[in-house]
Amino acid sequence: MSRIVQTARGWIGTPYLHQASVKGAGCDCLGLIRGIWRDIHGHEPEQVPHYTADWSEPQGDEVLWRAALRHCVDVSSSPMTPGNILLFRMRDTAVAKHLGIVSDIGPSPTFIHAYTGHGVTESPLSAPWQRKIVARFAFQEG
């Protein structure tokens, strides 16, 4: 099993808490990725500014996508592998702002993510979820 997937599964059950990134206490989808990053690198690459639930939507600004490009490797053109970071656009006209980690790519693919009302969970990467993927990234080694 990939180190990324093993680390992400350690966060399962963490309650959803907007802007948080503390395993077992609370996190949002970005907080989950930040926590995994810290487990791998020991520190975060940049400070995350305060953000609201509708952050970057009024301006149509792909803030999260640009941050991923700064700190991760774009693997969108490669085959999906466990440990890939998924970036989702939840509505066709919205900015991409949901994240998850590919956990299994077998006949029933799954991903780990945090979302309101559910906390960190492993969910089927069903066709409706797959249609929302706009980019895939890999954590940089280090």
Laid out side by side, the sheet with 110-115 consists of 72-74, 133-139, 85-88, 98-104, 110-115, 119-124
Q: Provide the token pair at 24.
A: 């077992």
User: What are the chain's domains?
Assistant: 3-139 (3.90.1720.10)
Which residues share a beta bridge with 139? 72
pLDDT tens-digit series, residues 67-106: 999 999 999 999 999 999 999 999 888 999 999 999 999 9
pLDDT tens-digit series, residues 1-37: 799 999 999 999 999 999 999 999 999 999 999 999 9
